[in-house]
Amino acid sequence: MIDHVSLGVADITAARDFYDKVLETLGLKRLYSMEFAAAYGDKYPGFWIGLPVDRKPASAGNGCHICFQASSRAAVDAFHAAAMEAGGGDAGAPGLRPEYTETYYGAFAFDPDGNKIEAVCYASD
């Protein structure tokens, strides 16, 4: 249903550094890199970051977040640890969230621009 998602960032270099480290934990890599944007995925660029086209400051959407699928709970843990090490903010430590589903294991972080990101695994490992 969704082809790709894009987030506005204030500093493309800092954002690339952050997402290179964080998304690597989920098996995703930077597939495209331009002066003003970058795209990530495994084979297809489904997640983009970039400077706003209108040249106004980037701002995080209040109440929205992007969730990435993780292959294991260990990958969720690694995602959160990498986000913290790369200068992100904690928005929810890794753990079960049975209020969503019985096996929902997720972690939340803020990127350097305040965008909220998440990794989730539904496996019961």
Band of the pLDDT at 2, cuts 50, 70, 90?
A: confident
- pTM above 0.75? yes
- The residue extents of the domains of the chain are 5-50+64-121
pLDDT, position 61: 86
What are residue 32's DSSP bridge partners? 39
Show the CA angle centred on residue 99, arms to residues 91 and 46, nearest 5°.
Answer: 55
Band of the pLDDT at 18, cuts 50, 70, 90?
A: very high
Q: Is the dihedral of CA 116, 121, 122, 125 positive or negative?
A: negative
3-state secondary structure of 69: strand
Q: Which CATH superfamily is domain 5-50+64-121 in?
A: 2,3-Dihydroxybiphenyl 1,2-Dioxygenase, domain 1 (3.10.180.10)
Assess whether pLDDT exceeds 90 at residue 102.
Answer: yes
- pLDDT tens digits along 42-68: 999 999 999 998 989 999 888 899 999
Assess whether pLDDT exceeds 90 at residue 90.
Answer: yes
- pLDDT tens digits along 106-125: 999 999 999 999 999 999 87
The dihedral over CA atoms of 37, 41, 45, 47, expressed in degrees to the nearest 10, equals -60
pLDDT, position 45: 96
